[in-house]
């Protein structure tokens, strides 16, 4: 199945920029659309451009190895309907039509591709209704379409599933000075498929670009597997940081930053335990950014998840090791410290080995609420470190708590898995 992508506008409301190549949540708008369509079975793109943006868009498509065909509209002033018509000889009977300046999320694209005709939103949550193209529907087909409709039932999302029959309605109005896409669709009385409440946006202004960036980052947070501290403290900060950084750094760079801050916190134990605890908590907050950026920018990878998990283990071990070292522990207390370090490692190891053994995410399969996740442990360490001036007993108590909580969590994890006979 092929897709037509309309990119022949001049982006006048954005300062005559090439809107499809503007970055939102770490990826160009055009990349986001093409990648999501490609991942859902679209195998070729007919990209209609103007003479001004042809080279930069074609260079972009080559760089990312999309299968494409460039069609040039020499008269963009004739309207988006004319731009659409120029692609008529390059598609099969059934095809997708999307706008080069619209942003969609993965769920929207998956659902929309199962629709027919205009994909319409009866309850648009993310667009300005006054600026949106409204649609009135009769007998499941477009009756009227336009921004100024007084009576309407849904909003045009800029996403269509069409057949080549629609081009004959464009031919009927080719003699007009301006041919609007909405005029073609209205004449064709194409079907309407309603998809409501999913994320999509038409990016026409700098304000809408910022809004789309923020919303895509916020929607990247799924919440699955987060501990209490992440849900109620860390994510409130990390999501704001991700909004600022998503267009500036990669997920792996974010992982490295969190790792280096964590290592620095371990070294700080040699000089100031309270300050080390504070920096350790900061590293825990930063640890959420890589995943948020990866999901928002469509850069999730097995390598990234693996690297993050490995580096986290080094940080946790080194922090507890240096904390124990500077606390002048006796032999019994060192045994407690070893159980704390071992338990911290095993909490992660049990869930990662579950994924390796059963090819499924532990937190997707089980609603597991037992305390002791990494964010909760680090926050507990942070609080105790603040009171380390009271003496060694504070640190020994902390290590004992970590040892007990983590190892009990491992036992609870094993119990939960064993109870599910599907895996026994």
Q: Give pLDDT, residue 17.
A: 83
Q: Is the pLDDT of residue 151 over 70?
A: yes
DSSP secondary-structure letter at 191? B
Weakest mean pLDDT among 5-9, 256-260, 286-290, 361-365: 361-365
pLDDT in tens, 219-236: 988 777 789 999 999 999
Residues 283, 239, 372: CA angle, nearest 5 degrees: 50
Q: Is the pLDDT of residue 101 over 70?
A: yes
Whether residue 344 contacts residue 316, with contact meaning beta carbons closer than 8 Å, is answered with yes
Residues 213, 214, 218: CA angle, nearest 5 degrees: 120
Q: Is the pLDDT of residue 144 over 60?
A: yes
Nearest to 311 by CA among 293, 337, 335, 290: 290
Q: Give pLDDT, residue 10.
A: 78
Residue 330 CB coordination number (10 Å): 10
Q: Give pLDDT, residue 225.
A: 78
Nearest to 127 by CA among 45, 232, 48, 198: 198
Q: Give pLDDT, residue 12.
A: 65
| Average confidence score pLDDT of the chain | 94
Tokens representing residue 260 in the block: 């280096």
pLDDT in tens, 109-121: 999 999 999 999 9
Using pLDDT thresholds of 50, 70 and 90, give the confidence band for residue 11: confident
Q: Give pLDDT, residue 424.
A: 47
Average pLDDT over residues 203-222: 91
Query: Rounded to an integer, what distance in angstroms lies between the CA atom of residue 380 and that of residue 367?
Result: 23
Residues 57, 61, 67: CA angle, nearest 5 degrees: 135
Using pLDDT thresholds of 50, 70 and 90, give the confidence band for residue 15: low
pLDDT in tens, 317-329: 999 999 999 999 9
**Which DSSP string do the residues of 328-377 spell out, in sequence order?**
T--HHHHHHHHHHHHHHHHHHHHHHHHHHHHSS-HHHH-----S--HHHH
Query: Rounded to an integer, what distance in angstroms lies between the CA atom of residue 70 and that of residue 174?
Result: 22
As a whole-number percent, the residues of the chain with pLDDT over 70 amount to 98
Using pLDDT thresholds of 50, 70 and 90, give the confidence band for residue 339: very high
pLDDT in tens, 346-385: 999 999 999 888 888 898 889 888 999 999 999 999 999 9
Residues 6+ positions from 18 with CB-CB distance below 8 Å: 7, 11, 53, 56, 57
């Amino acid at each position: 199945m092929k897709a037509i992508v309309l990119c022949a506008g001049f982006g006048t409301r954005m300062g005559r920029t090439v809107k499809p190549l503007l970055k939102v949540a770490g990826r160009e708008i055009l990349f986001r659309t093409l990648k999501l369509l490609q991942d859902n079975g679209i195998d070729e793109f007919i990209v209609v451009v103007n003479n001004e943006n042809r080279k930069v868009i074609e260079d972009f498509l080559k760089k990312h190895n999309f299968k494409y065909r460039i069609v040039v509209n020499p008269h963009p002033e004739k309207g988006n309907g004319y731009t659409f018509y120029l692609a008529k000889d390059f598609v099969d009977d059934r095809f997708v039509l999307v706008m080069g300046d619209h942003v969609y999320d993965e769920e929207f694209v998956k659902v929309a591709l199962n629709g027919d005709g205009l994909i319409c939103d009866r309850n648009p949550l993310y667009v300005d209704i006054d600026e949106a193209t409204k649609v009135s529907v009769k007998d499941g087909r477009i009756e009227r379409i336009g921004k100024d409709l007084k009576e309407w039932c849904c909003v045009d999302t800029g996403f269509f599933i069409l057949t080549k029959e629609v081009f004959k309605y464009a031919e009927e109005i080719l003699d007009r000075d301006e041919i609007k896409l909405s005029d073609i669709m209205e004449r064709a009385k194409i079907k309407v498929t309603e998809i409501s409440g999913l994320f999509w946006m038409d990016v026409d202004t700098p304000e809408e670009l910022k809004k789309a960036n923020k919303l895509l980052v916020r929607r990247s947070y799924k919440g699955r597997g987060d501990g209490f501290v992440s849900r109620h403290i860390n994510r409130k900060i990390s999501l704001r940081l991700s909004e600022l950084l998503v267009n500036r750094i990669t997920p792996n760079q974010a992982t490295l930053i969190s790792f280096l801050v964590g290592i620095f916190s371990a070294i700080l134990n040699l000089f100031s335990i309270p300050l080390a605890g504070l920096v350790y908590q900061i590293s825990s907050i930063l640890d959420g950014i890589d995943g948020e950026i990866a999901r928002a920018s469509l850069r999730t990878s097995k390598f990234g998840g693996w690297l993050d998990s490995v580096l986290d283990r080094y940080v946790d071990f080194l922090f507890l090791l240096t904390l124990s070292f500077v606390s002048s522990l006796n032999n019994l207390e060192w045994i407690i410290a070893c159980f704390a370090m071992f338990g911290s490692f095993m909490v992660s190891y049990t869930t990662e080995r579950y994924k390796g053994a059963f090819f499924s995410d532990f937190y997707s399969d089980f609603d597991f609420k037992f305390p002791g996740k990494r964010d909760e442990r680090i926050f507990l360490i942070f609080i105790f470190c603040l009171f380390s001036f009271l003496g060694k007993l504070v640190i020994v108590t902390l290590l004992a708590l970590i040892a007990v909580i983590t190892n009990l969590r491992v036992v609870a994890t094993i119990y939960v898995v064993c109870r599910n006979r599907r895996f026994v």
